[in-house]
Structure 1
């Protein structure tokens, strides 16, 4: 039984910083440490992409690593184009800020002000609530769509009368809400959202290699190809614009970040609203993750820590992972773009960067469990997946995730790498011995490998852990008939 994998573009863990024990360090040493960090990360298959670090708009470190196309051996450079995924949300928020400064809408404007024909449950939602994900709109139907357009998402949103919208009660990350924002922008500006981005943001900032226009995306010659966790070309195609949809480069994002810092597009007062945590009926937005507390402004995650203010947003789809993070107190900004997104240990690399920039102790990132598994599979060391990695996890206190391991196992199953799939599923049952799903997946691996008795044993174990597992019952019956 496959775990239902819903890919949220959730980014909060990328804000975790290391402890602040100040040490003496020169700028030259900072650069050397950054270079050491990224060379180490590239060597160990943790980072393949482009990175830029600035201090008060001056470039501190800028470098690219690896191939944008493995087949042609073309190197990534500062003009290689990456899909930004949810980093696009800050551009959608900026579009709203631009229209607000022109007096064409306000943050308290309601959906019914633009679309009086929309269902009652949507009419009272405000632009501010859409911006900071407090509208109550869920993404349940959104994630059922395959390669949807904005019109597809909007159609589902308008037709799904069973969806209860409870505005301003909770923070619920909503891609659908940002599609609705894009629809409002188009209504007010009287132009397509992709054209608005181009005319009002990309062209004025001379972001010449940035676009959300489909025909332009299809004709890009410097595109970085996204690669999945197991190295295949990503089949992801962007269609929805607002929550995502933008393609850009390291150089162009430097221009974007510079425009933010210099208030080129909107005033400082207006931009600060985007960097300010939003409100719920019972107080501020408060997201507590692994001991850290975060808020959310307009297209930006917010955080106060150790007397400093940070904002960031990352984006993630199969193959691509992107991040822009700003230390507003110290003037440090950095941008990460990778086309091997699933291999990037974002939290650990961000911890290391923050440690270097803020002159605190830092450690090089550990090689994640999944990366270690991938290396074992390349050498066909299937026993090593189960035994050595399990012991490594225990000894080094490495972080592992049941869903990620299960997903990797099914990738191998789909590729007909049955021994690898079984080894990963077996490891998952060892790490999660009370998971009915883990044993169900292992049973499926054995079944595909025609090891029917082992398959039955594991389906029975899954059924013991979850008597309601209908899939296990059906498969046991099927095996008995064999």
Structure 2
């Protein structure tokens, strides 16, 4: 029944978008068009969250729509931070490349060089395998892992890999987990502190929080379509939450090579094979410029989407996942491009 209701809501929303497309042809006010789009999406319960749209480096639209949690009493505002799911994996991949540029590691280094306490299979896994999800590591046992130490204990007991490193692609959070542990080993800092002090603050991001709890102010709480709020839990640590402005600063820092250089960024965009995820999700560089950066993420009932190219940037974050951010972004493009 819930699936049917969701499909009906999405159908209504889609029909509305086509209707708006006709209406929008009659007006040139982009903000009015976007307001109408998101207000209708809010009313039809197909979007609850925050949005930022920039065009050629200038913020065109930045607004919040809906509720900050399941209580239906607290409204979101633009300062709220959201869990951005897998997009937070960008911080460990960028951290690895920062250390590479500092000469503290090489992408061809075996994991055993930094984590010798793990079994001998770490001799086969190179850091580039972690970045490209080709390590052969087994999947995290989410039902058994409640904290970092649990997952490390599981890896210590792992006798063999699922496949030979560098031969196959498997999108797997153990790759992320070991990247974060390597950063800790080299820097002698917790990964969470490294992100805040060495990555975010130097580029002017001051409001980000890593692994926020339920008591964190201005942090959106996720909930499902029945209005039930999720229990926030981090099976492995290191998940950065951002507000709109800071998310945009992060995107612009990637595009301008403010944190890592052009070559390091190109390497992070390079997949094992076509359409595979990379450390930055997906993207491309041409003539020394980022021509595309696309990454989506989800956790609990959070969902986020970043789309960036030289013409525009779209950032969508929701705490009531409806699995329709791509469709919404397409509607935004049709409005902004006119």
TM-score normalised according to structure 2 size: 0.83
SS in 2 for 1:63: strand
Query: 1:179, CA displacement in angstroms?
Result: 0.1
SS in 1 for 2:209: coil
Choose between structure 1 and 2 for higher RCO, CA contacts under 8 A separated by at least 6 residues: 2
Q: 1:56 to 1:138 in 2, by over 3 A?
A: farther
> Which residue pairs with 1:263 in the alignment?
257
Instruction: Give CA-to-partner distance per residue, 1:138-157, whole Å, 9 cap, x none.
Output: 31x433335x2222222212
Q: 1:261 to 1:28 in 2, by over 3 A?
A: farther
Mapped to 1, the partners of 2:178 and 2:26 lie a distance apart of 48
Query: 1:252, CA displacement in angstroms?
Result: 1.5
For structure 2, the 5+ residue unaligned runs are: 1-23
For structure 1, the 5+ residue unaligned runs are: 1-23, 280-284, 287-293, 360-482
Query: 1:357, CA displacement in angstroms?
Result: 4.1
Mapped to 2, the partners of 1:92 and 1:301 lie a distance apart of 15
Instruction: Give CA-to-partner distance per residue, 1:1-33, whole Å, 9 cap, x none.
Output: xxxxxxxxxxxxxxxxxxxxxxx9899554443
Query: 1:58, CA displacement in angstroms?
Result: 0.7
| Matched ranges for 1:82-101 at <5 A | 82-101=82-101
Residue 131 in structure 1 maps to residue 131 in structure 2: yes
> Which residue pairs with 1:339 in the alignment?
319
> Which residue pairs with 1:298 in the alignment?
279
- Mark the structure with the bigger radius of gyration: 1
Q: 1:264 to 1:27 in 2, by over 3 A?
A: farther
Aligned residues: 311
In structure 2, which of residues 217, 239, 249 is the aligned counterpart of residue 221 of structure 1?
217
Residue 234 in structure 1 maps to residue 216 in structure 2: no
Query: 1:178, CA displacement in angstroms?
Result: 0.4
Mapped to 1, the partners of 2:86 and 2:61 lie a distance apart of 24
> Which residue pairs with 1:119 in the alignment?
119
Query: 1:197, CA displacement in angstroms?
Result: 0.4
Mapped to 1, the partners of 2:81 and 2:128 lie a distance apart of 31
Q: 1:124 to 1:79 in 2, by over 3 A?
A: same
Query: 1:213, CA displacement in angstroms?
Result: 5.4
Q: 1:350 to 1:137 in 2, by over 3 A?
A: farther
Mapped to 2, the partners of 1:358 and 1:274 lie a distance apart of 29
Q: 1:311 to 1:44 in 2, by over 3 A?
A: same
Instruction: Give CA-to-partner distance per residue, 1:212-235, whole Å, 9 cap, x none.
Output: 156xx4652112121123210111
Mapped to 2, the partners of 1:186 and 1:300 lie a distance apart of 23
TM-score normalised according to structure 1 size: 0.60
SS in 2 for 1:144: coil
Query: Structure 1 or 2: larger helix share?
Result: 1
Q: 1:314 to 1:268 in 2, by over 3 A?
A: same
Mapped to 2, the partners of 1:27 and 1:158 lie a distance apart of 62
Q: 1:176 to 1:254 in 2, by over 3 A?
A: same
SS in 2 for 1:203: helix
> Which residue pairs with 1:210 in the alignment?
208
SS in 2 for 1:69: coil
| Matched ranges for 1:46-61 at <5 A | 46-61=46-61
Q: 1:31 to 1:269 in 2, by over 3 A?
A: farther
